[in-house]
Amino acid sequence: MRRASARRQVAWAVAAAVVVAVGLSGSAGAASGPVASAAPKACRRDPSACVRVGIGQPIYIGTLLDRTQLNGRDSSTAIDLAVDYLDGQFNGVDGTLLGHRVVLLDQEDGCSAATTRVSQQQLLSEPGLVAVIGTTCSSAALGVADAAFSEKHIPLVSPANTAPGLTDPAKHQSYYFRTSWNDKIQAAVDANFAASRKWSQLTVVSNPDDSYSSQLGQAFVDAARRNQGRGTVVDGPKGADPQAVAAAVAATDPEMIYLTILPPLCIDVARVLRSDPATANVPMLVSEGCADENFLQKLGPLSDGVYASGPDFSFYGENDFYRTAFLDAYRRRAGNDPPTAFHAQAFDAAQLVFDAIRRASSGKPGGELYIERRKLRTALLRTTNYPGLSGLLTCTEDGDCAQDVRIAIYEAPGWPTASQASPDKVFSQSLSLAQLRAAD
């Protein structure tokens, strides 16, 4: 079975025992080992610079996702579908890549640095690991997974990380890429929405300990100031008292409240704010990290009129492949419509990895393969105008592959959720990273 966690853990334990027994001179599966004379020169000079996939052996790709969250499960389903589609059809039977099976090594990021450190070591214990798709949370990647995998020259391609710092040239790790958007774009669109409604006194609630929340919040404040608005940040760390956070927000006398904090705190703070007569009628916007069906269900009528920002889903409706093939396959596998925005980015992340492997490999399909790690990164960097489910993708040295993104604002209860076929879009704008760099 391609995805059987218990069996895989046993396999890894056996592999570890074999490594110990042979004194680290070889490994199990698609591992580095004695390099044949037919291998590329780079592999003969340094076996660790390549992954050797033997005849009949699989290609190992890791996933590092938080499946306790809807967006993590959404991404996981889409990655499964990408492996299914390797044969050019969604038929419930996995295709092959260059004549080899693809085995997904699944680990959890737990939306935390601590869990990620343990999980990434599990993945790195497989010498044949070619690439990793993840993480779900920006905080699990920034300074953690991005650094660990880059050090080993293993690409980490995220479908869901949006924190600007991950692709900041001063911080970017060379083997880190993402198909998700950069929150500089989302923040700018959200600030433009506020300006279009003439809301200038803006209060952001963000978690200073979470890179996604804090960096999106700061980017929003910066964009609002460019629009001549006034932005105030209220700290909402994980585990904070919702009543205290809401009171701090009310004290700023806001014209709009923007929550970049994650569940469950975002739901609890929103409930308090919407229940308090002093803030009940203040427009509220939540970022996509909180904008899911759970929010609508737990707030009930209190959620009516709350805005949410995220990808403009109208693009997906215009994509024939998505509408007529992918969506049906997703429903068959998951039993429901996609619950978040990240399934398209996850399918694209897998496709970019597969395409890069094809271009970085030498050998005969079904026979012995050599995948050069540096060539794998180069192949990702040469991705230009790739027609992904989420839009055209062009990867840069900074790791951003989504260069031009359309963000929309939706009004509850008409958010884009698994049970909402016609989301109520009230604002939409397409911006590019190039435009934002020019504005800076």
- Residue 356, CA distances (Å) to 10, 55, 88, 96, 376 in order: 30, 20, 17, 15, 6
Residues spanned by the domain of 206: 183-313+404-439
Q: With respect to residue 44, please indicate whether it lies within any of the assigned structural domains.
A: yes
CB 327 within 8 A of CB 320: no
Provide the pLDDT for residue 440. Answer: 78
* 434 and 421 within one domain: yes
Q: For the segment 315-329, what is each residue's pLDDT rounded down to a tens digit? A: 777 889 999 999 999
Confidence of residue 241 (pLDDT cuts 50, 70, 90): very high
pLDDT of residue 9 exceeding 60, the answer is no
96 or 417, which is more confident: 96
| Residue whose structure tokens are 């996981």 | 76
Q: With respect to residue 223, please indicate whether it lies within any of the assigned structural domains.
A: yes
Q: With respect to residue 433, please indicate whether it lies within any of the assigned structural domains.
A: yes
* 352 and 262 within one domain: no
* 143 and 18 within one domain: yes
In 3D space, the residue among 388, 374, 406 whose CA is nearest the CA of residue 178 turns out to be 388
Confidence of residue 124 (pLDDT cuts 50, 70, 90): very high
DSSP characters for 388-430? ETTEEE---TTSB---EEEEEEEETT----TT-SS--EEEEEE
Q: Is 56 left (phi over 0), alpha (psi -120 to 50) or beta?
A: left
pLDDT of residue 41 exceeding 90, the answer is no
* 258 and 210 within one domain: yes
Of 2-6, 135-139, 382-386, least confident by mean pLDDT is 2-6
Q: For the segment 170-220, what is each residue's pLDDT rounded down to a tens digit? A: 999 999 999 999 999 999 999 999 999 999 999 999 999 999 999 999 999
Lookup: tokens for 137: 């949370």
Q: For the segment 151-168, what is each residue's pLDDT rounded down to a tens digit? A: 999 999 999 999 999 999
118: CATH? 3.40.50.2300
* 214 and 204 within one domain: yes
pLDDT of residue 32 exceeding 90, the answer is no
- Residue 405, CA distances (Å) to 158, 184, 428 in order: 16, 11, 10
* 149 and 231 within one domain: no
pLDDT of residue 2 exceeding 80, the answer is no
Provide the pLDDT for residue 18. Answer: 30
Provide the pLDDT for residue 74. Answer: 95
Provide the pLDDT for residue 365. Answer: 87
Q: With respect to residue 399, please indicate whether it lies within any of the assigned structural domains.
A: no
Provide the pLDDT for residue 17. Answer: 33
Provide the pLDDT for residue 6. Answer: 33
* 110 and 30 within one domain: yes
Query: What is the separation of C-alpha 317 from the centre of its chain, rounded to a whole number of angstroms?
Result: 21
Give the number of other Cβ atoms within 10 Å of residue 114's Cβ: 10
Q: With respect to residue 262, please indicate whether it lies within any of the assigned structural domains.
A: yes
DSSP characters for 82-121? HHHGGGSS-SSS--EETTEEEEEEEEE-TTSHHHHHHHHH
Length of the chain: 440
What average pLDDT does this structure show over 223-248? 96
Round to whole Å and give the CA distance between 420 and 322: 17
Q: With respect to residue 237, please indicate whether it lies within any of the assigned structural domains.
A: yes
Q: For the segment 325-378, what is each residue's pLDDT rounded down to a tens digit? A: 999 999 999 999 888 889 999 999 999 999 999 999 999 889 999 999 999 999
* 193 and 166 within one domain: no
| Dihedral sign, Cα of residue 30, residue 35, residue 40, residue 43 | positive
Q: With respect to residue 398, please indicate whether it lies within any of the assigned structural domains.
A: no
- What are the residues whose beta carbons fall under 8 Å from the beta carbon of 265, sequence distance 6 or more? 207, 236, 238, 239, 240, 242, 245
* 265 and 410 within one domain: yes
pLDDT of residue 5 exceeding 60, the answer is no
3 state DSSP class of 55: coil
Provide the pLDDT for residue 420. Answer: 59
Provide the pLDDT for residue 107. Answer: 98
422 or 339, which is more confident: 339
| Residue whose structure tokens are 């991705």 | 383
Q: With respect to residue 299, please indicate whether it lies within any of the assigned structural domains.
A: yes
- What are the residues whose beta carbons fall under 8 Å from the beta carbon of 354, sequence distance 6 or more? 82, 86, 97, 102
pLDDT of residue 24 exceeding 60, the answer is no
- What are the residues whose beta carbons fall under 8 Å from the beta carbon of 198, sequence distance 6 or more? none
Provide the pLDDT for residue 316. Answer: 78
Of 145-149, 213-217, 287-291, 310-314, least confident by mean pLDDT is 310-314
What is the share, in percent, of the chain residues with pLDDT greater than 70? 90
Round to whole Å and give the CA distance between 174 and 192: 32
* 146 and 10 within one domain: yes
What average pLDDT does this structure show over 44-65? 95
* 379 and 251 within one domain: no
The rounded mean pLDDT for the chain is 90
Total count of domains within the chain: 2
